[in-house]
């Protein structure tokens, strides 16, 4: 029989059986840990507790919205990975190009492909099962629709294209996240998207 530990008034209490939990004041946002788990989850995340208390599962609660600094770091990681790939391709081409001027022009000609690659990669990754690029996965954050579900590829492409409006003017679209309770940037609002984190980190 599974037993549960709950957090009340900031302190863990238990263990309790399901029958004992039913007698306690457990709410949807009560932190609960089942025997064998390393981390707490909110009560609504447990199927048996939803059945017991009549809770509704909520995939994107306010405290789970990814902060701007997390998103910025994830983006920096993705950009770094793409720049490493760009440098590798350029160095590989230099093996076949001897002329110094041609090398420089080739490197400059390929540079605009980096943001294009980021748009394509970001859209595919965010519409995948993981719902995140490598940078976002390292930060344990992901992109969802407004209900916390996986976005379609077309919606993910629209979101990444809309980043143009977040950049201009003066990156206001990114700063817009500080004025938004769901910490959405302007391109998130346009695409009906959220960036959420799995745990309180």
Domain ranges of the chain: 4-58, 64-197
Please give the Cα distance from 122 to 160 (Å, whole number). Answer: 7
Tell me if residue 8 falls in helix, strand or coil. strand
pLDDT by residue (tens digit) across 3-41? 999 998 878 898 999 999 999 989 888 999 998 888 888
Beta bridge partners of 33: 5
pLDDT at 86: 97
Locate 166 and state its tokens: 């977040």
Using CB atoms within 10 A of its CB, is residue 10 exposed (0-12), middle (13-18) or buried (19+)?
A: exposed
Q: What is the mean pLDDT of residues 40-47?
A: 87
Selection from 145, 141, 143 nearest residue 192 by Cα: 145
Rg (CA), the chain: 22
Q: Is the pLDDT confidence value at 63 over 70?
A: no
Q: How many residues does the chain have?
A: 201
pLDDT at 75: 95
Q: What is the mean pLDDT of residues 123-152?
A: 92
C-beta of residue 68 within 8 angstroms of C-beta of residue 195: no
131-140, 160-169, 170-179: which is most confident: 131-140
C-beta of residue 122 within 8 angstroms of C-beta of residue 160: yes
pLDDT by residue (tens digit) across 77-134? 999 999 999 999 999 999 999 999 999 999 999 999 999 999 999 999 999 999 999 9
Q: Is the pLDDT confidence value at 182 over 50?
A: yes
Q: Which of 91-95, 111-115, 153-157, 167-171 shows the lowest per-residue confidence on average (mean pLDDT)? A: 167-171
pLDDT at 201: 39
- The torsion angles phi and psi of 16, rounded to 5 degrees, stand at -125, 150
Which of 168 and 24 is assigned the larger pLDDT?
24
What mean pLDDT value characterizes the chain? 89
- C-beta atoms surrounding 36 within 10 Å: 7
Q: Is the pLDDT confidence value at 61 over 80?
A: no
Which of 1 and 121 is assigned the larger pLDDT?
121
User: What share of the chain in percent tops pLDDT 70?
Assistant: 95
Tell me if residue 63 falls in helix, strand or coil. helix
> What's CA 93's distance to the chain center, in Å?
35
Which of 162 and 37 is assigned the larger pLDDT?
162
Q: What is the mean pLDDT of residues 173-177?
A: 89
Please give the Cα distance from 138 to 77 (Å, whole number). Answer: 9
């Amino acid at each position: 029989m599974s037993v549960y530990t709950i957090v009340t008034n900031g302190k863990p209490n238990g263990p309790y059986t399901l029958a004992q939990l039913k007698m306690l004041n457990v709410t949807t946002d009560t932190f609960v840990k089942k025997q064998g788990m390393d981390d707490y989850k909110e009560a609504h995340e447990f199927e048996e507790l939803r059945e017991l208390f009549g809770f509704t599962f909520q995939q994107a609660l306010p405290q789970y919205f990814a902060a701007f600094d997390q998103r910025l770091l994830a983006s920096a990681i993705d950009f770094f990975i793409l720049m490493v790939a760009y440098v590798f391709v350029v160095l590989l081409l230099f093996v076949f190009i001897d002329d110094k001027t041609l090398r420089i022009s080739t490197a400059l000609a390929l540079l605009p492909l980096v943001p294009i690659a980021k748009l394509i990669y970001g859209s595919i990754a965010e519409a995948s099962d993981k719902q995140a690029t490598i940078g976002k996965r390292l930060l344990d954050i992901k992109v969802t629709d407004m209900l916390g579900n996986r976005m379609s590829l077309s919606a993910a492409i629209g979101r990444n294209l809309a980043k143009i409006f977040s950049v201009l003017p003066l990156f206001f679209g990114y700063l817009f996240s500080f004025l938004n309770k769901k910490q959405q940037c302007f391109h998130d609002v346009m695409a009906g998207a959220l960036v959420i984190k799995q745990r309180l980190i």
